[in-house]
Structure 1
Amino acid sequence: MAEGKRLDFFERYLSLWVAACIVIGIILGKLFPGAVAALSQMEVSHVNLPIAVLIWLMIYPMMLKIDFSAILRVGDKPKGLFITLFVNWVVKPFSMAFLGWLFFKHLFIGLIGTQLANEYIAGTIILAAAPCTAMVFVWSYLTDGDPAYTLVQVAINDLIMLFLFAPIVMFLLGVSNIVVPKDVLFMSVVLYIVIPLVAGYLTRRILLHVQGEEWFNTKFLAPLKPVTILALLATLVIIFAFQGETITGNWFNIILIAIPITIQVYFNSSLAYGLSKLFKVPHTIAAPGALIGASNFFELAVAVTISLFGLKSGATLATVVGVLVEVPVMLSVCNFCNRTRHWFPLSVRNKA
């Protein structure tokens, strides 16, 4: 990664924390089955209330970071944006659906069976159907990306997600012969995308107007950063408390799920990076674009799979595996982008 730049403590060891949550969750599930069962019954209309609160604590701070006025700069350097949108919405969900079908329905079917194959496909499709939001800023920073342009890419992707996430998920799951309750999916979109996005937008606008940008960033937004990570880890503990029996009996399945997810990350990042080089996009835009096209909004994916398929489902497990592999794989992509900076001539590195 760029010289002198490192992830902070929580982000640097996120995969380690996730692995620890697996162990803690399994232990708690075995030691306190009654308490875990009580948590599972706290539902309203297929929404688990403790999980919903934790998911909100994850997603709301992310939405606060998005400056939607950046969309006004959409006409600046459009090639990088078009490449990102092409990879995110035309290639990524469909390539993941294909890889899921190939690995789970064919290569691994003898190891996992038809039911788990369908659930893993569903989870990986939902994982790939929403582009990353918060972590993109970290990846952009580590590759010396253009922060203003990264903001434009994230803002536009979030708005597109409002309209395309549910239809893409429904289409791809339908093609895979997986039944999805439409009302539950759309409620998940409203609950985990629309409401946090609107709340984040209004909060940001009001506080910036009343208190100013410096206060907003240092006094309000900064303290919320660890809340997001802690809420994610708490969510994973609960999920793995429910998944304990499944994991201890089928721990090898986590490795199987990680294989197509990892392949898809490298495929989409390579595609976005290659297209950027082909169309002479500056490296400060090409590198973040490759990372946006590869990473996932796993917080949203976890929430939606829980609402659609339940805490104990293979689909939920698949999205959690996505969290487990995300950080080390994305760091390797960051490293590759930094090592290949010379592929982009000086004449186009900062060219419009």
Structure 2
Amino acid sequence: MTHTATASGEAPPAVVARLSRLDRFLPLWIGLAMAAGLLLGRLVPGLDTALEAVAIGGISLPIAVGLLIMMYPVLAKVRYDRLDTVTGDRRLLLSSLLLNWVLGPAVMFALAWTLLADHAEYRTGLIIVGLARCIAMVIIWNDLACGDREAAAVLVALNSVFQVLAFGLLGWFYLSVLPGWLHLDGARLEVSGWEIAGNVLVFLGVPLLAGYLTRRLGERARGRAWYESSLLPRIGPVALYGLLFTIVILFALQGDAIADRPWDVALIAVPLLAYFAIMWAGSYALGRAIGLGYERTTTLAFTAAGNNFELAIAVAIGTFGVTSGQALAGVVGPLIEVPVLVALVYVSLALRQRLFPATNR
């Protein structure tokens, strides 16, 4: 994105006023991208088949390209020489691990069984979404909300490591073991740890390496002042273009499923809305309670509330099939998550002035 408000200490109205036109009307662009994708999926015969013909790690190649384009500019903004200030913040790191790998999956499990007890496929799909912790789009929401870029990079990397190590184990626990203990009907999740590792390597490792090398080589060649004031504003908007392209392709792939089962979509949306509200608000309150500043509180909240829907969809399709209810639940995830987290960007900026007055002076 193109703004530089994180370092400026400006109040939210000033922050919003300084956003580029692209950033300022982000909800509109995202709404149009979602609508365009749904229309394309409905009106162009065979488009979904063509888009899925080539895949990386089980994810459509066009979506993969969009994700890489989306993440690269934001990771090029990260001050890699400041990462030690984040890794030394034990409050932030431990809170993030607790929220992402203990509370997040548990909250989604509870909501899925409470609100979708009679819909086994949708329930299982939502649990998979809850297990797939954020590694991608959260960087965009954090940047828009003026969160701590370096902290976001560290937490996303931490989540990625745990994703590889814990996703399959947690899937087995929440879909097989825990339902048995509670005398509920479970459904076993079969997922390859190597596939998850491959997804992490491609969708985080490639843009992270590109962003690091861009900053390293750019500062070495022309200096930090030129890099921050000249190069970053040029490549910044590319992240939004990648985001919008990804949304169009994602919804084009699933346009039929969403349009053909609108009531099922609404049914799945209810626990998702509750989940995002609980995780974001609870994480924000925790960050405030343990004394984190605005930037890191915001980063903690968005990294806890966001999910890696790309991985969730890939796992649901690979395990249960492209037409399964589990796959539909995965698809509804970004349908709800994208507009909700965009709205929470504006909520966060409003709370900045009220709850963190020191950052506005």
TM-score w.r.t. the length of structure 2 is 0.79
**Inter-CA distance 98–128: structure 2 relative to 1 (3 Å threshold):** farther
Identify which of 301, 320, 340 aligns with 1:294.
301
CA contact (8 A) 1:166 1:185 kept: yes
Aligned to 1:281: none
Aligned to 2:347: 332
CA contact (8 A) 1:56 1:192 kept: yes
Aligned to 1:21: 33
Aligned to 1:96: 104
Aligned to 1:197: 208
Aligned to 2:113: 105
Distance in 2 between residues matched to 1:130 and 1:29, nearest whole Å? 24
Distance in 1 between residues matched to 2:65 and 2:167, nearest whole Å? 23
Identify which of 135, 140, 145 aligns with 1:139.
145
Following TM superposition, by how much is the alpha carbon of 1:191 offset from its aligned partner in structure 2, in angstroms?
0.6
Identify which of 243, 257, 280 aligns with 1:246.
257
Unaligned stretches of 5+ in structure 1? 142-149, 277-284
* 3-state SS, counterpart of residue 12 of structure 2: coil
Following TM superposition, by how much is the alpha carbon of 1:91 offset from its aligned partner in structure 2, in angstroms?
2.0
Identify which of 289, 307, 315 aligns with 1:274.
289
- Matched letter for residue 290 of structure 1: T
Q: Which stretch of structure 1 is more off in the superposition, 5-14 or 94-103? A: 5-14
Aligned to 1:183: 194
Following TM superposition, by how much is the alpha carbon of 1:92 offset from its aligned partner in structure 2, in angstroms?
3.1
- The answer to whether residue 162 in structure 2 is matched with residue 164 in structure 1 is yes
- The answer to whether residue 80 in structure 2 is matched with residue 68 in structure 1 is yes
Identify which of 12, 21, 27 aligns with 1:2.
12
CA contact (8 A) 1:298 1:323 kept: no
Identify which of 44, 62, 84 aligns with 1:32.
44
Distance in 2 between residues matched to 1:57 and 1:152, nearest whole Å? 19
Aligned to 1:51: 63
Distance in 2 between residues matched to 1:23 and 1:105, nearest whole Å? 31
Unaligned stretches of 5+ in structure 2? 1-10, 176-188
Q: Which stretch of structure 1 is more off in the superposition, 167-176 or 51-60? A: 167-176
Following TM superposition, by how much is the alpha carbon of 1:176 offset from its aligned partner in structure 2, in angstroms?
1.9
Aligned to 1:120: 126
Percent identity between the two aligned chains: 20
How many residue pairs end up in the alignment?
A: 323
TM-score w.r.t. the length of structure 1 is 0.80
* Root mean square deviation, CA, Å: 2.9
- Matched letter for residue 222 of structure 1: P
Q: Give matches, 1:223-242, under 5 Å.
A: 223-242=234-253
Following TM superposition, by how much is the alpha carbon of 1:129 offset from its aligned partner in structure 2, in angstroms?
6.9
Distance in 2 between residues matched to 1:3 and 1:273, nearest whole Å? 22
CA contact (8 A) 2:279 2:305 kept: no
Aligned to 2:269: 255
Distance in 1 between residues matched to 2:157 and 2:35, nearest whole Å? 37
CA contact (8 A) 1:63 1:196 kept: yes
CA contact (8 A) 1:123 1:305 kept: yes
Q: Give matches, 1:76-91, under 5 Å.
A: 81-91=89-99
Distance in 2 between residues matched to 1:114 and 1:11, nearest whole Å? 39
* Residue-by-residue CA offset, 1:17-40 (whole Å, 9 max, x unaligned): 333222221211111022332112
CA contact (8 A) 1:97 1:125 kept: yes
Q: Which stretch of structure 1 is more off in the superposition, 294-303 or 264-273? A: 294-303
Aligned to 2:5: none
- Matched letter for residue 176 of structure 1: Y
* 3-state SS, counterpart of residue 232 of structure 1: helix
Following TM superposition, by how much is the alpha carbon of 1:131 offset from its aligned partner in structure 2, in angstroms?
9.3
Distance in 1 between residues matched to 2:300 and 2:57, nearest whole Å? 33
- Matched letter for residue 229 of structure 1: L
CA contact (8 A) 1:192 1:300 kept: no
Distance in 2 between residues matched to 1:228 and 1:3, nearest whole Å? 23
CA contact (8 A) 1:63 1:197 kept: yes
Distance in 2 between residues matched to 1:318 and 1:300, nearest whole Å? 8
Distance in 2 between residues matched to 1:236 and 1:131, nearest whole Å? 11
